[in-house]
Every structure is written in structure tokens, then in C-alpha cells.
Amino acid sequence: MPDLADRLDNVEVSASAAMTAMARDLRARGVPVISLSQGEPDFQTPDHVVEAAHAAAKAGDTKYPPTEGTKALKAAIARKFKRDNGLDYAAEEILVANGGKQIIFDALMATVNPGDEVVIPRPSWISYADMAKFAGGVPVGVACPQNNGFKMRAADLDAAITPRTKWLILNFPSNPTGAACSRAEMREIADVMLKHPHVWILTDDMYEHLIYDGFEFATIAEVEPRLRDRVLTMNGASKAYAMTGWRIGYCGGPARLIKAMANVQGQSTSGVSTVGQAATIAALDGPQELLAERAAVYRERRDLVVDMLNEAPGISCHKPEGAFYVFPNVAGCLGKTSKGGRKIETDVDFVTALLAEKQVAAVQGSAYGMSPYFRVSYATDTASLREACGRIQEFCRELA
């Protein structure tokens, strides 16, 4: 049989996707699994967004789109960046892609040479490091300890940057911790990056509108305009507007970088679904009140999950500022044995036993670069969250 490409040797299957698939398979076999493993809003795409897509399709907007995005959507994105972030991007500084993941992939493939380093705060979304490897780069983790709110210290970031560093990737609010950087904290990061003009900065702002308790979102190109010429500001419709399946990501950045990314995209997927782009125009230009309304629901769910997990013996759960994840510490559960006779030595053991014995699917913290933790997504209905957290409490009480 012919060989596969060597570039796949160090690229792993997403742990969250694997756990979600496992939960889906168990459900199909009649097992009453509650999945807390997938970062997908349980809300429906707003009606006016769906109607815009339908109208576009009926009007014949079904032909090949421009690789970089339609003029109409790029104009809507420019308005969004100006309205929400105080950032001015011209049409040639905006790219539309098949989800936020393709934006990141395009950027890394367009810039990273073999051996280039990509600095990533950890714990972090699984795909950042694997995409860096796929592009021939070397991921370099910077620890974001719980005692610092799962945020990296400026001195640690500075120490991680070398002459080989090509990118810094930021994601606040964060997947998997929900941590968000205040304006002052983002200012500290910006001050470090001003010292290193050879480094690109990618900021994944996908969870921008999911912030709680009066927290103010800040993105680095807004905080420090002097960095603008090497910042790629990435966002998308998936999380804010419950449009994960529409696959719309977008970004603003220097025209030279955007042109190179469009070249990469043109040789992979080309342009994005025309009806999806029409839908996203409606989302970005339409009523925005739903963002705060849905964030209020997520905040209530966060509080429920944090309170219930902190009542589970052996678990300590930090209350985050945003996103729809919590990242509990299970150090107090290690070294024990479950009711079903499973030894809990690692966070992998914990989530494996939890799924097998209590039918709750979550993702081990080691997949995100930090142990012994596990990630819980509270992007599901409140009744299921309450039941799942009750099962976790029971699981922990039964450890001996």
C-alpha cells in the first residue's frame, strides 16, 4: 500500500472531536450520554439570518464566489470591526474563509517556514499547535497558570520569543479556560510585542461577545495601533450567532498578508458558500440585542456549573470571565479508584471513567496542554447541565 505523507506524523485527531464522536456513538446505541465535550451553541441560528440565506438562494446567488469573499460581506465585516472594535479595515485587508480554522490555517501556511516557531499560550485550543506543525513550524507553549487566572505573564511571553519566532497566537476569551484579558493585561502583552517587530500576531476573537459580569473585551490591534501592520484580527459567525454549521470565518489584517492567505485558500477550497455569506451579512448588520440576551443565559449556566463542580469532592473550578467553558482541576481525585474499579491516575483516566460509569462526556486537560484538568462546555441546555454536574458530583463522592 502507498505511504501517507510524513507531515501527518505529528498531527493528532482533535480530542474534543474524538470524545464528541464517542458520545454520539453511545447515544445511538441507547446509552443516556450527556455530552459536555463540544464547543457548539445550543441556540438556533436567528430566523432573519436563515431567511437572508433563503432569499439569496431564491434570487440565484448560487454561483462561484470570489476567493477572498463577496464585496457585500467584506463591507459588512468592515462595519463590524469599526463598530465593535474601533478598527478600520479596507476591502483588500479583509478575507472570508470556511470557518475561523481556515483563517488560521491560511495564515500559517502563507508565512511559516520549516523550523519557524509559533508561540501559543497554554492551555490552548488543540488545533493551534497541530496547524503550526502541519505548516512545518514548531509550537512553543507559554504557561498560563490557574493562579494567574489562566493568563500568561508578560515576562513569560518575552522569554519565549526567539529570533525564530514567526507568530504569537492569542485567544481571549479562551478555549478551553474561558479566561479573558482586561485592557490593562492586553496592554502588557502589546508592550512585549512592540519589542519584537519580527513577529506576526494572530488574535482569535471568536468568543468576543461571550463575556460576563461587566467585563470589557479588548483586542490587541485596538489596544496598540502601532502593532496593526502585523496583527491578524480573526473572528467569525459561529459562536456569537450560533452559526457553526454555516462555516464562516473572517479576518482583518495587512493587505500583503491577506493577499498571501487568499492565494493559499485559492489552491485549497477557493471561496465560501454564497448563501452562507449572505446569511452572515444579515447576522452582522442585523439586530445585535440577541448577543447580550444569549450571553446572559450563558452566564447563568456558568454560575450553575462552577457552583456544582466546586461541590464535587476533589474538584476545584475557577470562575472564568468569558466563552462557554470551565477548566476544573481534578488533582484531588488522583490516586483514587472509581466505584467501577478504575484507577484514577491522570485526567485522561478521570474523563474515561466518567464517561464509562456516569455517561458524561468531557475532554481531558492534557489535550489542551495542562494537567490534571478537564474541559467542560456549558453550551447546552440548563437541565442537561444540572443533571451532568450531579452525575460528576456522584462520581467524585464514590471515589475511594
Tell the residue number behind the cell numbers 511559516, with chain if given.
112
| pLDDT (mean) for 323-328 | 98
| pLDDT (mean) for 74-89 | 98
What is the reported pLDDT for 12?
75
| pLDDT (mean) for 189-197 | 98
pLDDT tens digits, one per residue of 273-295: 999 999 999 999 999 999 999 99
Confidence of residue 20 (pLDDT cuts 50, 70, 90): confident
What is the reported pLDDT for 380?
94
Mean pLDDT of the chain: 96
Confidence of residue 6 (pLDDT cuts 50, 70, 90): confident
Helix 100-111, helix 255-266: angle, nearest 10: 100
- For residue 136, the one-letter residue type is G
Q: Point out which residues pair with 139 in neighbouring strands.
A: 118
The neighbour count for residue 235, using CB atoms within 10 Å, is: 28
Inform me whether the pLDDT recorded for 28 exceeds 90. no
HSE-CB at 243 with a 13 A cutoff on CA atoms is: 32
Helix 382-397, helix 347-358: angle, nearest 10: 110
| pLDDT (mean) for 226-249 | 97
Domains along the chain? Answer: 6-44+290-397 (3.90.1150.10), 47-285 (3.40.640.10)
Q: Is the peptide bond before 173 cis (omega within 30 degrees of 0)?
A: yes
- Counting residues of the chain whose pLDDT is more than 70, the rounded percentage is 100
What is the reported pLDDT for 14?
72
What is the reported pLDDT for 29?
82
Q: Are 232 and 251 in contact (CB under 8 A)?
A: yes
